[in-house]
Chains A and B, each alone.
Chain A
């Protein structure tokens, strides 16, 4: 599906559209297809979330069906956590590759089609109830083989994208020796590299454990090993979701706000720290698993706390960039810049709302990482509330903002309705707060997660009475989020076919206050961090994985033995 020079020329001839190179036109088209798949997944997955909130509330006996609930939960999870995120990152990544370093990918459409075929293969058993195993790949729950094959293909498709990003990065560096690679490309390639490392865990579990059992080639599965391998993926995947959201905050928001990026170097440091600190720390998902020793869990706990450093650095740099923009717009005093910002710009608004959700979600994350505290909320709805606030809230709202920025630049058409976008952002934020606040409370008062409550309500009416108000609030929150989601899809669709040309289609990223002329090699290359990752992974996961091959049984293993 290559683009011809004539097509590129015809795109360039649209009114107000600056000339795009054939490479950029290719990146636009590839990016657009990938991101439409991502947002199609969002459109399909959102109503499922509302159904789940309603089904498990006990308020609507007519829709109660445990089998449908778990099929819906699994599909919702896979669509949101894997399909939306992977296709969005690939789409914007390919767009960035074309526009920041003018490189054409080798595997662009291969990546897209392999991932899409995988998605369809996984969707069929999910929707027909043959893969109601949630998105967490935890045996002994087993799905139809085509689910694992499809999920593996989705990951393999994304590996082509990872390879493309790294190849483009290395090529540009060779062609421009000593020059700093554009920060946006540095950040996206770090994201791709992180995903390459992250996905190895679930990839290994799927290839060597789940698929052989699903096909009947092996009779049993080592659950401890499978959960350990998935923990490798399970937390760092959150940063694969978050990093494109942070990229939007670093490279789009400051310019849209009317200012500059506070520090290019801080952005790069935050990304290398996110890369290094977020992968080898997955044991906080195994705190109550008996197969890993307490000492390793303690090590991973301290590792997890380290992620707070780049998160705070990101919060500081983005907020400082917003402060500069507000002051340039006339804001005075310590906080006058907040009121001076253009909150009717959907990207500025999304940035502010996303940071607000991050303040609470990040705090909840540190609690979850705290070994003894995690015991209290383990497998409760607190956890589900937490990851919906961080992913559905903090992360996805920035995806939506980035789409509002990207669509006019890719299609050449003006954003259909800026006012609708602003209302949509507010509704999304309010919906997320109303949805996830009660969810956290439900966890604290003991409601377990991953349970359809259809039957249990009848057996424990006193619990139903205690949970009822929170369940009701969650349904309201979920409804607001779904309405907001469809407002977004409608706005995007109408933008796509808008006859009004966009006023500004040039892709320009935020400029730093002090643009770096030269950078230390560690902030301008991948090799050092890649080797650092090898060392850290061997240290934190080497023994915990190898033990399964040398020790029998599933009892807790003492520290160092």
Chain B
């Protein structure tokens, strides 16, 4: 790898990381709300 290529990588935005975190953020929220839907559908605790 040339110094220019290395410099380019170091200066670039971590796109893969952004995508992983965005997907994780969406799944995180959906799963959080999904757990509410799953358990609240059973009604109040008796």
Contact = CB atoms under 8 A, between A and B. Distances in A.
B21 A319 contact: yes
Given A334-B19, A367-B35, A319 B14 contact: yes
Nearest to A326: B16
B26 interface: no
A175 B12 CA distance: 36
Contact residues on A (Cβ < 8 Å of other chain), bracket: 20 to 34
B32 to A, nearest CB: 6
A373 B15 contact: no
A316 interface: yes
B16 A338 contact: yes
A323 B39 contact: no
B21 A324 contact: no
B9 A330 contact: no
A315 B9 CA distance: 20
Contacts of A372: 36
A532 interface: no
Interface in B6-45: 6, 9-10, 12, 14-17, 19-21, 24-25, 28, 31-32, 35-36, 39, 45
Interface string A286-319: 0000000000000000000000000010011001
B14 A324 contact: yes
A310 to B, nearest CB: 14
A306 B5 CA distance: 39
A525 to B, nearest CB: 29
A323 B17 contact: yes
Contact of B16 (A262, A323, A330): A323
15 contacts: A312-B21, A315-B21, A315-B24, A319-B20, A319-B21, A323-B16, A324-B10, A334-B15, A334-B19, A335-B19, A338-B16, A363-B28, A366-B32, A367-B35, A513-B10
Given A260-B10, A373-B39, 12 more contacts: A315-B24, A319-B20, A323-B14, A327-B9, A334-B16, A334-B19, A359-B28, A366-B32, A367-B32, A370-B32, A372-B36, A373-B36
A-B pairs with lowest CB-CB distance, top 6: A320-B14, A320-B17, A323-B14, A319-B17, A327-B9, A323-B17
